[in-house]
Amino acid sequence: MRSERLLEVKNLRTSFFTHVGEVRAIRGVSFYLDKGEAIGIVGESGSGKSVTSMSVMKLLQYPGRIVGGEITFNGKDITNMPEKEMQSIRGNEIAMIFQDPMTSLNPVYTIGNQIMEAIRRHQGLSKRKAREKAIEILKLVGIPSPEKRVDNYPHEFSGGMRQRAMIAMALSCEPNLLIADEPTTALDVTIQAQILELMKNLKEKINTSIILITHDLGVVADVCSRILVMYGGLIMEEGKTEEIFYNPKHPYTMGLLKSIPRLDLGENKRLVPIEGSPPDLLKPPKACPFATRCPYTMKVCEEMMPPYFEAEKNHRSQCWLLHEDAPKIQVDTGVKRGSIS
Amino acid sequence: MSNTNVHLSKKDKNICIEVKNLKKYFLIKKGFFEKKIQCVKAVDDVSFYIKKGETLGLVGESGCGKSTTGRTLIRLYEPTGGEIIFDGVEIGKMPEKEIHPFRKKMQMIFQDPYASLNTRMTVGDIIGEALDIHKIAGGKERIEIIHDLLAKVGLNPDHAIRYPHEFSGGQRQRIGIARALAVKPEFIICDEPISALDVSIQAQVVNMLGDLQKELGLTYLFIAHDLSMVRYISDRVGVMYLGKLVEIADRDEIFKNPAHPYTKALLSAIPIPDPEILKTRQSILLEGDVPSPINPPLGCRFCSRCKYAMKKCSEVEPEMKNLGKGHTAACHLL
């Protein structure tokens, strides 16, 4: 059962047709997700990580549109699925948690009402049954005295509790897939730790698959077993969490690891930033999007898009450095296996 | 500058700024007659000092009063009580007119580079505004200074005639830094200067702040919630919780031997980008949320979430205890 495919995305391309031209936010993204698995998508703002999740949810708003590719969910092709059918999947089989719990809850309805809406819509329960279920699920996500809290409005909840309520809502129909778009970015570290712990526990309990989107490498290291690193609308590197951290193959991944200070390491080495800034996707570079910022740029990098090279099994990277004729580079990112003292 | 306010600091000439029992309460008013009904004790009895050329990192969760402390420190807010001693001079109660020359010595870099720059002014005018207000330079000299500053923060002098919307987040933050540097300050408050930036850009800005400090001998108060970045940039670190400073110590000391239970929990909650370490380490999960600063718990403010809380904790407020080597913490356990 474990290695059953839940979601497969093939060569997905999404663009936004603005008045200044076509912004190619995703330019051919392929990945898969097994049942019960948690993967992380890491990248900076504008790398296309949120647009990827919105495309999977088919929640793109005008002027955004999927231009090509295929999304298969649970064996069904949902790429061109009519909106009506999509609605029965969305919220029921695929659920989403957004970054800002403040703006994604409706301030004029009680928390209970908002959770019950999803339950009643998808499961056709009576009002009373739905309410019981809402209380049960609030309890599951760790809201104290849920019988009372269910009648509270969002403003009566704190930030962490609102995010818990969002998770409760997303989980109310026991979805197969939970997409969490920066679920902890707006929260404080101690609350972030609570929410991450909750997500890990829920994954075990109801065997939901998770796509966790974040820019924080520490967060994905905690929750996910596989990581996709996105940059300029492409997946630059994909691999098991350990591989990405201990044996990164793409200079962008290495750069990310080098540019964050480590709390646990005593030495104060100067941070190594990635110079420059991300590409403009209105006029995406025809070759490697990272070439202008990469310390190892070769001639070929500026002329041809690199294909995916397999470094190990299930570890691929879109970089010319992995070509057999390329010079071998050795980089110390500071993240090493067995560095625990 | 009047001499009556000169506070002859006997102890240390090396101290740039010192606060003693700083308090900032915000009153919540209601009704037509603005009846004062409640008060938020945003900063309550906070004391610390920053040496010249040093960086003090101030950490804590949102709502703990770290930004209010920073803003009160340079009199963007009027302090409710306590003393602020800048360069040996008490400025906490100084009238606005007399404080003007001090404003030049204290500058601030704000969190949101999208909100802190006037969108209708060119970059040159944004940086030059401070020069005009303090009547530092005019005409050709003014332009020269602006160009120098832009070069110093890694931007092109040609950028002076452009508008903020033409820049990326990292570049805007550089403009904010150039503006702060324009009046040749001694002390800069960096209020979450990097939290709105992307990871790969954060390191650029932090490195630049470090270089400028070395070059110009600046003193920083670095306010942030990202502890790993604070550890990287600070010499000393203070931890705040609900308006109180609960622990302050040298950087290495506080990260190796945190004394206060809150500091311990905070340190263990940070996700470390290393899967093996995450698997082995024991993180302390705090229950619940930060209580409201309107009705903070009696006694120790952390007692409602502290797993070591004793009876005494909810009755008596703990005092700052000296643990040696400049390490002080406020907890009854010590």
Spell out which residues of chain A touch residue B203, defining contact as CB-CB under 8 Å.
Answer: 259-260, 271-274
- How much is the pLDDT for B168? 84
Name the residue among B207, B267, B271 with its Cβ closest to that of A271: B207
Partner-chain residue, chosen from A161, A190, A274, that has the shortest CB–CB distance to B200? A274
Instruction: Output the CA–CA distances (angstroms, integers) from residue B310 to A154, B156, B285, B300, B333, in the order listed.
Output: 33, 59, 19, 10, 9
Q: Do B120 and B98 meet the contact criterion of CB atoms below 8 Å apart?
A: no
Per CB-CB distance under 8 Å, the chain A contacts of B290 are: 158, 188
Show the tokens assigned to B101: 């020359």
* Amino acid B147: pLDDT: 94
State yes or no: cis peptide before A306, omega within 30 of 0: no
Testing the interface with A: which of B173, B199, B254 to mutate, by most A Cβ within 10 A? Answer: B199
What pLDDT does B1 receive?
A: 40
Q: What is the pLDDT of residue A135?
A: 93
Pick the residue from chain A with its C-alpha nearest to B210: A270
Q: How confident is the model at residue B11 (pLDDT cuts 50, 70, 90)?
A: low
Fold annotation for A5-213: Rossmann fold (3.40.50)
**Could you tell me if A339 lies within 8 Å of chain B, comparing CB atoms?**
yes
| C-beta atoms of B199 and A340 within 8 A | no
Residue B52 pLDDT > 70, yes or no?
yes
Residue-by-residue pLDDT tens, chain A, 341 positions: 446 899 999 999 999 999 988 999 999 999 999 998 999 999 888 888 889 999 999 988 889 999 999 999 998 999 989 999 999 898 889 999 988 777 888 999 999 999 998 899 888 899 999 999 999 989 888 888 899 999 999 988 888 888 889 888 988 888 999 999 988 887 788 888 888 888 888 888 888 899 999 988 888 988 899 999 999 999 999 999 999 999 999 999 999 888 887 766 555 667 888 888 888 888 888 899 999 899 999 999 999 999 999 988 889 999 999 988 888 887 777 777 765 44
Residue A47 vs residues A23, A42, A302: alpha-carbon distances, Å:
12, 9, 19
What pLDDT score was predicted for residue A258? 86
- What is the pLDDT, as a whole number, of residue B8? 44
Domains and CATH numbers, chain B: 3-234 (3.40.50.300), 260-334 (no CATH)
The Cα–Cα gap between A98 and A114 comes to 15
- Domain spans in chain A, listed from the N-terminal domain onward: 5-213, 241-322
**How far, in Å, CA of B254 to CA of B247, rounded?**
8
> What pLDDT score was predicted for residue A113?
93
pLDDT attached to residue B146: 94
- Rounded CA separation B151/B155 (Å): 5
Threshold 0.90, pTM exceeds: no
Per-residue model confidence as pLDDT tens digits over B209-232: 999 999 999 999 999 888 888 888
Decide if B273 and A245 are in contact by the 8 Å CB cutoff.
yes
* 8 Å CB contact between B63 and B293: yes
Set of chain B residues whose Cβ sits within 8 Å of the Cβ of A272: 203
What's the whole-number mean pLDDT along residues B138-161? 91
d(CA A190, CA B85) in angstroms, rounded, equals: 34
Predicted local confidence at residue B5, as pLDDT = 40
Residue showing tokens 């999977």? A56
Residues near A325 by Cβ (< 8 Å), separated by ≥ 6?
none
Which residues in B lie closer than 8 A to residue A278 (C-beta atoms)?
A: 198
Return the beta strands (E) in A94-252 as ranges: 94-97, 177-181, 209-214, 226-231, 234-240
pLDDT, mean of residues B101-120: 89
Whether A145 has its CB under 8 Å from any CB of chain B: the answer is no
pLDDT band at B112 (very low <50, low <70, confident <90, very high): confident
Distance CA B315, CA B300 (A): 8
**Cα-based angle B37, B42, B45 (whole degrees, multiple of 5):** 110
Cα-to-chain-centroid distance, residue A256: 17
Q: At what angle do helices A189-206 and B261-269 cross, to 10 degrees?
A: 50
Of A254, A271, A233, nearest to A311 by C-alpha is A254
